[in-house]
Amino acid sequence: MSAVSEAVRVAPPGNPVSRSFRDSMVVAKRNLIRMSRIPEMIIYGLIQPIMFVVLFTYVFGGSMQIGGSASPVDYTNFLMAGIFAQTVTFATASSGAGIADDMHKGLIDRFRSLPMARGAVLTGRTLADLVQTAVTLVVLAVVALLVGWRVGSNGDTNAGKVLAAFGLLLLLGYAFTWIGALIGMSVRTPEAATSSGLIWLFPVTFISNAFVDPGHMTPWLRHIAEWNPFSATAQACRVFFANPGRSTSHAWPMEHPVWASLIYSILIIAVFRTLAVRKYRSAST
């Protein structure tokens, strides 16, 4: 390799942390600009969660019992925490597909030739996906209000708790985008990234307390649902929203859902960010 091309790969001097943050923000800005120029990416991302809200509320709501109540209103209030959690985790598929697409087009190779922090490319992408997820949550919350969802329907809450619930949702969504980043770095095409991302997401979201009370499941399935990271966040949101769905389970994540949600999300970020960045570095050598 020539001396010129070797010099291009040399990182500029400075604090590694600040340099990594700056590079990540540049990549995040690039991805946000790209998303704004392709609005159908956001529109199509909104259609699926809105369909879930409408279908579960009006098709299944009248036949579901929550805490002994068969009221469709109670089920709607119970349901929304699960729909919110499902929406943020489904960002995994788009994150993986986006990174796989950049890999397929050779854009990642161009980034590798630049003097930038190795983890900045993936961090910037996941941060951009986090912004898109936040926009999706805002729109979905408006739709939920239109179909009858109300905070404080089963007790007292306040604006701080509601914001804390959405913060936990965004943290979970950010954690799952790192799983998508690892998948995107491990497959060859965007189609493969989307398929492999959705295959495991459906069991994770449905074997949980998102749509039904796990107490009605068979014992072995109930234990899986109670220790599911997805269930912890959904339950924590119900606590903050003061919505129906108080758990009678003695599993630690259900008794302490807020702490469980935080611990699960931080662990997922720590593990999968490490694996994704390591995969990026090994592929760039």
pLDDT in tens, 76-94: 899 999 999 999 998 888 8
Provide the 3-class DSSP secondary structure of residue 138: helix
Residue 66 contacts residue 244 (beta carbons within 8 Å): yes
Looking at the predicted structure, is the pLDDT value of residue 12 above 60? no
User: pLDDT (tens digit, 9 = 90+) per residue, 168-209?
Assistant: 999 999 999 999 989 988 887 888 887 777 788 889 999 999
Q: Mean pLDDT lowest for which of 13-22, 159-168, 173-182?
A: 13-22
Mean predicted confidence (pLDDT) in 63-70: 67
Residue 192's closest CA among 184, 204, 203? Answer: 184
pLDDT higher for 31 or 9? Answer: 31
Q: What is the pLDDT of residue 69?
A: 63
Mean predicted confidence (pLDDT) in 111-121: 76
156 phi and psi, to 5 degrees?
-95, 145
Residue 89's closest CA among 178, 221, 27, 25? Answer: 178
**Percentage of the chain modeled with pLDDT above 70:** 90
Q: What is the pLDDT of residue 54?
A: 85
Looking at the predicted structure, is the pLDDT value of residue 7 above 50? no
State the CB neighbour count (10 A cutoff) for residue 241: 27
Mean predicted confidence (pLDDT) in 159-166: 95
Give Cα 6 distance to the centre of its chain.
38
Q: Mean pLDDT lowest for which of 214-218, 232-236, 256-260?
A: 214-218
State the CB neighbour count (10 A cutoff) for residue 175: 26
Residue 155 contacts residue 162 (beta carbons within 8 Å): no
The residue ranges of every structural domain in the chain are 18-283
pTM confidence score: 0.88
Alpha-carbon distance of 83 to 142, in angstroms, equals 13
Looking at the predicted structure, is the pLDDT value of residue 8 above 50? no
Looking at the predicted structure, is the pLDDT value of residue 44 above 60? yes
Q: What is the pLDDT of residue 178?
A: 94
Provide the 3-class DSSP secondary structure of residue 242: coil
